[in-house]
A and B are shown apart, each in its own frame.
Chain A
Amino acid sequence: MMKTWISLPLIFLLIFLPFFLSQYWLHVMIISLFYVMMASSWNLIAGYTGQISFAHAAFAGVGAYVSGMLAVNIGIPPWLGIFVGTFVASLLGVGLGYLCIRMGGIYLSLTTLGFSEILRIIITNEDRWTRGTMGLQIPGFFTEYSKMSYYFLFLIVSAVFLFILYRLIHSEMGLSFRAVLNDELAAASSGIDTIRVRILAFTISSAMAGMAGGLYGHYLMLITPDIPSLGQMFLVLAMAVIGGMGSFIGPILGAFVLEVLSEYIRIYGEYHVLLFGLVALGVARFAPEGMVGVIKKRWKVKESP
């Protein structure tokens, strides 16, 4: 009941809002939707199976560069290219997952951090193919450029992602994710193949990052090593943590709030990621359930005075 009351007007808002927005705010909304995809899919591994991966932005970079380079070098249309990019990202996801998930914990974080940096360095240095920090110009999705079309493309794909994530979290697989997060040994002793469960989550999440990155690249039409950078990664992390890790709504909320906020802060220089990082640390320490947790608490207090 509650859910329909909130989500119906929200859907209307998201469909009609763009007609009232300036080109600039339309752009902010499109970027926000990109971060919704990124933060929500990262939440699947970090929030639901407890694997803090730093490779998520790197997988977005894989998606963007694979699709972009295919388009530039052999003329493969972006519509097809992003699926190839997604596929490559998921393959790398399986491989990296296989490599470091057995190690778990801090080793997973370190390995993914290393992977991420190596990828960024390769992209920066192989400028014959990627044009390095100059950026690679790639075609967009639509022959006639229109922010409105991109907005709806991003909205639809985000909705599909969220639908998939929602179904996944509320399925048997989602229960297994949470069991692994709660107590890996107890889950294994209950017959759950914990390694398989974690690799599966990692792969799905990598694939989603790959697709999000591909969309993002073909929207910007200029891709740079900033896409797979750690700055980008920390922004996604901050969105999920501040919004509320391990909850479905948290990363969505975090993505919109932080992206809009960073538009205001950006005029003071590129310190917003640092600032968000610090806030995320504070949130992780003092309100681990993030904004969603705080709102829920308030709600309960109001309901039963």
Chain B
Amino acid sequence: MSRRILEGKGVAKSFGGLMALRQIDFVLEEGEIVGLIGPNGAGKTTLFNVVSGVYPPDRGELFFDGRLISSLKPYQICRLGIGRTFQIVRPFLKMTCLENILISLIGRGERGKTLEEKKKEAREFLEFVGLRNRENSLAKDLTLIEKKRLEVARALATKPKLLLLDEVLAGLNPSEILQALELIHVIRTQMKITIFWIEHVMGAIMKASDRIIVLDQGEKIKEGKPEEIVSDPRVIEAYLGESNA
């Protein structure tokens, strides 16, 4: 049995009267790739925001590597080893791609590395996501696909143990999805990073995940292997309910 890397106990979060998360319990084991799915507005992004410290949970506790993180600030959580991407990408628009990555390297707060050494390392991350030739372009001049790659590279450059990916496949065409899945495979197997990802592209997330957690209206309605999920009546209903609405 491997180690628990992330654990949520009774995590709840509301916005005004809206309960975006109601007492969610979940566990991620080290090395796993876990998919988080659910209809629009189910609370998936909110869960990522709570885990990464954008806002603290109203109730419940979060543990990362056995450490209580629910009252820490985003930069502290990032430094402990949780990297994330944003569903609506948020690159530093008026900075170059290289500078975007450098920020993550600076954010690690390591001592003893010169800026030149960090630049060299940053280029490797750009290379990894295929943006090496865009090193000096401003982020605002990138295409959406390129911005998404930059977003992933930036999250990786924080040197995470756990990576939260929020709909990185949305808007990609089938061949780009295949490329992205390959990247995710490498992140997992070679970089040994645990992955927690949100996706609406069902084929991809079912194929590439070890386990799936399903949220609906702020509640965890199902959790299990991909093949158990697709045949579950509650899950099908949650999704059908959405398409009927």
Q: Chain A interface (Cβ within 8 Å of chain B)?
A: 171-172, 175-176, 178-179, 182-183, 185-194
Contacts and interface: CB of A to CB of B under 8 A. Distances in A.
B70 interface: no
B233 interface: no
Interface string B63-92: 000000000011100110000101000111
Given A179-B103, A191-B79, A191-B158, A186 B108 contact: no
A189 B95 contact: no
A175 B84 contact: no
B94 A176 contact: no
Main secondary structure of the interface of A (DSSP, over half): helix
Contacts of B108: 191
Interface of B: 52, 54, 73-75, 78-79, 84, 86, 90-95, 99, 102-104, 106-109, 115, 118, 154, 157-158
B106 A175 contact: yes
The 3 residue pairs across chains A and B that have the minimum distance between CB atoms? A191-B107, A182-B92, A188-B74
Contact of A191 (B78, B86, B115, B118): B78
A186 B115 CA distance: 21
B158 A186 contact: no
Contacts of B94: 178, 182
A193 B75 contact: yes
24 contacts: A172-B106, A175-B95, A175-B99, A176-B103, A178-B94, A179-B92, A182-B94, A183-B90, A183-B93, A185-B74, A185-B90, A186-B86, A187-B107, A189-B54, A189-B78, A189-B86, A190-B78, A190-B154, A190-B157, A191-B75, A191-B79, A191-B108, A193-B73, A194-B75
A190 B73 contact: no
Contacts of A182: 92-95
Nearest to A179: B103
Tell me which of B91, B102, B103, B109 has the highest count of chain A C-beta atoms within 10 A of its own C-beta.
B103
B104 A175 contact: no
Contacts of A191: 75, 78-79, 104, 106-109, 158
A194 B54 CA distance: 13
A185 B78 contact: no
Contacts of B86: 186, 189
A295 to B, nearest CB: 19
